[in-house]
Amino acid sequence: MLDTTFLVDPRGRIVYVNAACQRMFGYAPEELIGQLLFDYLAPDDRARTQEEARHVMAGCPRVGFENRYLRKDGRYVNVMWSACWSAEDQLRIGVARDVTHLKRTEAIQHATYAISEAAHNATDLDGLLRQIHQIVARLVPVAGLAIATCDRRTKELSFSYQMDRDGSLPVLDEPLACQFCAQVICGGRPMRLPDTMLRARSGEALSRHDRTGWLAIPLIAQHETIGVLVLKSDPETHHSDEDRGLLHFVSEQVAIAIDRAQMKDELLRAARYDELTGLPNRRLFKDRINSAVARCVRSRGSMAVLYIDVDDFKQVNDALGHATGDLLLKDIARRLQLCVRGADTVARLGGDEFVVLLEGVATQGDAQLVVVKIRDAMLPPLDIGGQSLRIQLSIGVALYPEHGQELEQLLKHADEAMYSDKRNTGAVLTYPAPPNPIGGSSPADR
């Protein structure tokens, strides 16, 4: 017979087993006869198997019960049982069929579907990586999981996700792990990692009981390695050859899902953020101010909008080049962000025009305090390629609800106030002048 047949007495001791057991369990019949069958059970399956045995011995035949046994070589075998009880002989008769390959195929199918579903439903990359951790943990023993990804533009490697089995993080020493993961990416093959990465939260030496197993698997999508999947296992549950084969297949699905999620995140960011400065763009600013207006309506609150224009910016581009102009805009964006709270929004509308949304600002005087802070932040000159640029901004203020209750009304008032400020202050952005001094710019020049 290809299946293994057991005769087991009421105490659970094996009284007979056929020769097929050696192929399925790795033991010769004489090694098993006289032994307790439950001693070879996977610990997680013992309670429900004991309950099943009681039902069979009570006269309830069973077909299709599944559990796992530890083979002689240390690997688990998945078994499907048909069993009945012989009252006359006082023996439990069981026929065991090896369904390990079937279970592995089912696991791959389920994992593929789960990863695909997670990639479709996840709202962001972080959410996807958390779901990937859960999926992998259902397939193989996982004491902790980390995922390193490469930046799509710079190719810089960093850990996008780390989580231990108990929810602790970090899982590993990130700088050290990045070095080994870079080797995995270069080699394109799985790699065992050293135990020294275990102590991510302290510099303590590893004891014998702290030793663990680390397996790093490259994540390859469209023939390009986009990251590394790093799994931590307990000392007593190192990943078997079957586990590694399963993980190799799953890593391909994970790589595809992560690659698509990264592309989706990039497209969403490009649609909502300014590429040069990294600030929210006009579209995202519109969403945020509409949300702020809704909050003000509910709470009868107030807010302010600052419309900002860089004086003489066109002259910088004409005299020093657009590269210098870009550096100037990036520095202005950085300084503006330092002048507001985390809950406020600094956005770039386009060109040299910026806008600031200040929630919870009740009066013109409160808004002017922020205006003064911004002007002071622009006082230090910016040195670019030997050129010293002194920045001055024209700033207009609009208050909600005094100057409007809708986005366009607020922006129109703030824009008009900004032009008034420009006429009153004049253009003072300065730098070493070319032979013919550059004059001020009109609104049409902008």
The CATH number given to whatever domain includes residue 412 is 3.30.70.270
| Domain-located, residue 303 | yes
Q: Are residues 286 and 357 in the same domain?
A: yes
285 closest CA partner among 325, 293, 299: 293
Last residue of a domain, one of 272, 302, 320: 272
Please, which residues have CB within 8 angstroms of residue 175's CB and are 6 or more apart in sequence? Answer: none
In this structure, what DSSP letter does residue 237 have? -
Contact 259, 222 (CB under 8 A): yes
Per-residue CA distances from 163 to 144, 160, 358, 392 (Å): 6, 11, 37, 47
In this structure, what DSSP letter does residue 336 have? H
Q: Which domain holds residue 149?
A: 103-272
The enclosing H or E element of 399 equals strand 393-400
Angle subtended at Cα 351 by Cα 348 and Cα 355, rounded to the nearest 5 degrees: 30
Chain-centroid distance, C-alpha 65: 38
As a whole number of angstroms, the distance between CA 214 and CA 11 comes to 41
SS3 38: helix
Contact 393, 378 (CB under 8 A): yes
Q: Are residues 117 and 93 in the same domain?
A: no
pLDDT in tens, the chain (446 residues): 889 999 999 999 999 999 999 999 999 999 999 999 999 999 989 999 999 999 999 999 999 999 999 999 888 899 999 999 999 999 999 999 999 989 888 888 888 899 989 888 888 888 899 999 999 888 887 888 999 998 877 888 999 899 988 787 777 888 888 888 999 999 888 888 766 655 554 444 444 444 557 889 999 988 889 999 998 877 655 666 777 778 888 888 899 999 888 888 888 888 899 999 999 999 999 999 999 989 998 988 899 999 999 988 888 888 888 888 899 999 999 999 999 998 899 999 999 999 999 998 878 899 999 999 999 999 998 887 677 888 889 999 999 999 988 888 999 999 999 999 888 865 444 444 443 333 333 333 43
Last residue of a domain, one of 44, 73, 98: 98
Place of tokens 């922006």: 411
Which residue type is seen at 68?
R
Q: Are residues 302 and 382 in the same domain?
A: yes
SS3 202: coil
Number of domains in the chain: 3
Q: Are residues 331 and 247 in the same domain?
A: no
The total number of residues written for the chain in this structure: 446
Q: Are residues 398 and 359 in the same domain?
A: yes
| Domain-located, residue 246 | yes
| Domain-located, residue 277 | no
Q: Are residues 204 and 127 in the same domain?
A: yes
